[in-house]
Structure 1
Amino acid sequence: MVATTLVGLLRSGPAEAQGTQAAPAPRARAYTRSAHLMGSHFTFTAVSPDDSLAWRALRAGLRETQRIDRLCSYWDSTSQITKINRLAGVRPVVVDQEVFDLIERTLKISALSDGAFDITFASGDKIYKFDKQAHASLPDSATVRNSVRRIGWQKVKLDPATRTVFLPEKGMRINLAGILQGYGVRRAQELMKKMGIAGGLINGSGDVYCWGQQPDGSGWRIAIGDPARPQSVSSWLTVSDLAVVTAGNYEQYFTVGGRYYGHIINPHTGYPATGLRSVTIICPDVELADALDDAVFVLGPEQGLALINRLKGVSCTLIDDSGQTLVSKGMQLHSYHSAAPAAAAHSTPKP
């Protein structure tokens, strides 16, 4: 996925000290640490009056994300996901309860989205090159149909009694990339909050979750990128205790006859999903939002909005191929018609 969520930590200045005590309590500050995790750029921000606590919490959040990456990485030869894939068509694999539960949740989202979100997408053949170049044509239809022959979330066999995962066909593979960053952000946030960080923001390369308040007591301002103008903003909203997750098809793509084809593949057809340039999901669960942005992208504007409108507590804003902004029921955005504010921090593309 590619994200263009821009996180604007726009502050109106430090809060004034209250009272007339000779030694006022330390004022909260925002502490930030960045790292390359899960193949992406992560930024952890903790708001606290205690610098020692803030740095401990930032380190703990980073280590938790690293742990999840090692456990569930598609690329790490020692991960449990790699073992499941290696033994596809051979035998079931016993996994940790955490991994079993995460896979089980992905299958529920697959059922909810009628397969638009599908972790077995990794079973597909790589027949496209998303090099931002003009291509003469799409692959022929037989090649495309053949590329998705092993994809199918319904094929994944889970046995809760033995805590095993089994892929029944050789060549099948699962990849949790469509949900893993959101899961990592969620677990890191839960840990930091439990340690006493009452406000903060974690940005996993476009998977953003913020809670509490900024040091001056204001909410967190999240800006949504404009696909037509890289590094600029189309709209923004102020949130707290919410996830804002964006996927786009304008960082990894190719064109045929002037039409964009992004890297998000429809698992039913094998063709790149079309109709949308950007999908932003807003909801309290960053893991769910991370999966839903892919699902909506595959479903397209009409069916994607219909799905979100059925879900309680979930909103979305879409930018279609024509540049039109669409929103779900009750969604309110602030339009932004110029370049990104100087105080905004630019996120890096999601893989």
Structure 2
Amino acid sequence: MSDAPRGVRHVEHVMGTVFSFDIRDRPTPAIHRALAEAVRGLHTVDAVFSTYRPDSAISRLDRGEMALGDCPPEVHEVLSLCATVTEATDGWFSVVTGGRLDPSGLVKGWAIDNASRLLYDAGARNTCVNGGGDLQLRGESSPGNPWRIGITDPLRPGELVTVVTGTDLAVATSGTAERGHHIIDPHRNTPATGFASVTVTGPRLTMTDAYATAAFARGEDARGWLESLEGYEAYAITPDGQSWRTSGFARLEA
């Protein structure tokens, strides 16, 4: 962990991706402790929820080697949230992928949310927590200036399609740029191919990230559904390079 004159930055490799913490407040012992706790929390989430680790609680639960009642309390919380999102998305978000229990479409956003809240409770009011391109923003990047987040073009690596600005804002993108067609249409059990990427903004990342996954899976019907979500906006790119925005997204663009 390294200090800037006014802030703290830290990078952590965990959960199969890169997490970065950008804290723009003057560092205090409480903030340093909260950052250390947040990093430990990410590793705990990885140990509990990784579908790639045969010893994780979620893998053992999936194989029937552990009862739900014997799982850590985090599993109960996440599966309850997943059930809520499944209902809110008419089943386009699913906790089962390819016949396996897999809550990863919600877990990363939830973990980032928790890390951001730890920092806030410790007095860090101006922070960006980024996990693999999904972000929870709080406060400002500097006094009087909102955070500016570039949205990458999934079809032209290295280029941006737009820039989102905001203060207390979550930004989540589901797409094919890094992992190919990894999001499954839960109603057909086939890869979803209607989008190259969908970026969703909202107040907190747990739901924002899950909604981005559900929108990507939903395909061409996603626009109307996203318009109906109060407090959420979206920007989508189709495989042929066409794009659309929900009605309020332009207010967030630089």
Contact residue 226 and residue 233 of structure 1 kept, 8 A: yes
Residue 282 of structure 1 aligns with an amino acid whose one-letter code is: T
Aligned mates of 2:226, 2:76 — CA distance in 1: 26
3-state SS of paired residue (1:231) = coil
3-state SS of paired residue (2:248) = coil
**Aligned counterpart in structure 1 of residue 34 of structure 2, from 50, 57, 63:** 57
Matched, 1:215 2:142: yes
Matched, 1:315 2:242: no
- 1:27-176, aligned counterparts within 5 Å? 29-50=6-27, 52-87=29-64, 93-123=69-99, 173-176=100-103
Residue 106 of structure 1 aligns with an amino acid whose one-letter code is: C
Aligned mates of 2:142, 2:25 — CA distance in 1: 8
Contact residue 165 and residue 253 of structure 2 kept, 8 A: no
Contact residue 31 and residue 122 of structure 2 kept, 8 A: no
TM-score normalised to structure 2 length: 0.90
Relative contact order higher in (CA < 8 Å, ≥ 6 apart): 1
Question: Cα 1:43–1:92, aligned 2, differ >3 Å: closer, same or farther?
Answer: closer
Residue 53 of structure 2 aligns with an amino acid whose one-letter code is: D
Question: Cα 1:91–1:186, aligned 2, differ >3 Å: closer, same or farther?
Answer: closer
1:97-135 Cα shifts (integer Å, max 9, x gaps): 332121011122112222211111141xxxxxxxxxxxx
Aligned mates of 2:44, 2:124 — CA distance in 1: 20
3-state SS of paired residue (1:306) = helix
3-state SS of paired residue (2:7) = strand
Count of aligned positions: 251
Matched, 1:296 2:215: yes
3-state SS of paired residue (1:276) = coil
3-state SS of paired residue (2:52) = coil
Contact residue 130 and residue 136 of structure 2 kept, 8 A: yes
- 1:244-323, aligned counterparts within 5 Å? 244-253=171-180, 262-301=181-220, 303-323=221-241
Following superposition, the deviation at residue 51 of structure 1 comes to 5.2
In structure 2, the partner of 1:325 is 243
Aligned mates of 1:249, 1:61 — CA distance in 2: 29
Residue 239 of structure 1 aligns with an amino acid whose one-letter code is: G
**Aligned counterpart in structure 2 of residue 200 of structure 1, from 127, 135, 138:** 127
Instruction: Name the % identity.
Output: 29
Aligned mates of 1:53, 1:112 — CA distance in 2: 37
Aligned mates of 1:225, 1:99 — CA distance in 2: 32
Question: Cα 1:183–1:335, aligned 2, differ >3 Å: closer, same or farther?
Answer: closer
1:220-261 Cα shifts (integer Å, max 9, x gaps): 0011111221011010121111100011113333xxxxxxxx
3-state SS of paired residue (2:241) = coil
Aligned mates of 1:119, 1:51 — CA distance in 2: 39
Contact residue 47 and residue 54 of structure 1 kept, 8 A: no
In structure 2, the partner of 1:347 is none
Contact residue 43 and residue 202 of structure 1 kept, 8 A: yes
Aligned mates of 1:278, 1:228 — CA distance in 2: 9
Flag the structure with higher helix content. 2
Aligned mates of 2:251, 2:190 — CA distance in 1: 32
Aligned mates of 1:225, 1:235 — CA distance in 2: 8
Following superposition, the deviation at residue 282 of structure 1 comes to 0.2
**Structure 2 residue ranges without an equivalent (≥5):** none
Q: Determine which structure has more spread, i.e. the larger CA radius of gyration.
A: 1
Aligned-CA RMSD value: 2.2
Contact residue 30 and residue 215 of structure 1 kept, 8 A: no
In structure 2, the partner of 1:228 is 155
Following superposition, the deviation at residue 333 of structure 1 comes to 6.0
Contact residue 317 and residue 328 of structure 1 kept, 8 A: yes
Aligned mates of 1:335, 1:82 — CA distance in 2: 40
Following superposition, the deviation at residue 30 of structure 1 comes to 2.9
Question: Cα 1:272–1:333, aligned 2, differ >3 Å: closer, same or farther?
Answer: farther
Contact residue 224 and residue 234 of structure 1 kept, 8 A: yes
Contact residue 171 and residue 200 of structure 2 kept, 8 A: yes
**Structure 1 residue ranges without an equivalent (≥5):** 1-26, 124-172, 254-261, 337-351
Question: Cα 1:28–1:214, aligned 2, differ >3 Å: closer, same or farther?
Answer: farther
